């Protein structure tokens, strides 16, 4: 077992322990379709746990909504939008010299994504 695969195993175990210890929302294990939305993924979730979940899942390109401590998936990118975003990210790999960690040019895939909440 290489060091990188051992490290990935440790990270995976830590995430499982954190998921059990905290009330993080859970992403569905099946593919979502537009007809499923809004889809509830968390119940009685604190803002701290929601923010931690959001930080860990920001690359999913899903839009989340927090209302009365309940978390919902409210939107997903269209396949065409996802393909265009992926292509644009690939274009920036060339001037970045294929640098993955801390690249000179940072490109985010979902610029309009944010924390939506009905409560202050």
Q: What digits encode the pLDDT tens for the residues 43-90?
A: 999 988 888 888 887 767 788 888 999 999 888 877 777 777 778 777
Domain boundaries defined on the chain: 3-117
The overall average pLDDT reported for the chain is: 75
pLDDT over 70 at 111, yes or no? no
Among 6-15, 59-68, 104-113, top mean pLDDT goes to 59-68
Q: Which comes out higher in pLDDT, residue 7 or 114?
A: 7
In angstroms, the CA 58 to CA 13 distance is: 20
Has residue 116 got a pLDDT over 60? no
């Amino acid at each position: 077992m290489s060091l990188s695969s051992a490290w990935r195993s440790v990270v995976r175990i830590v995430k499982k322990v954190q998921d059990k210890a905290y009330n993080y929302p859970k992403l569905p294990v099946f593919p979502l379709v537009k007809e499923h939305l809004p889809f509830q993924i968390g119940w009685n979730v604190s803002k701290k746990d929601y923010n931690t979940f959001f930080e860990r899942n920001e690359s999913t390109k899903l839009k989340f909504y927090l209302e009365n401590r309940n978390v919902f998936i409210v939107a997903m990118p269209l396949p065409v939008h996802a393909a265009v975003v992926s292509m644009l990210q690939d274009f920036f790999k060339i001037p970045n010299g294929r640098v993955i960690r801390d690249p000179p040019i940072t490109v985010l895939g979902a610029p309009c994504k944010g924390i939506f909440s009905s409560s202050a």
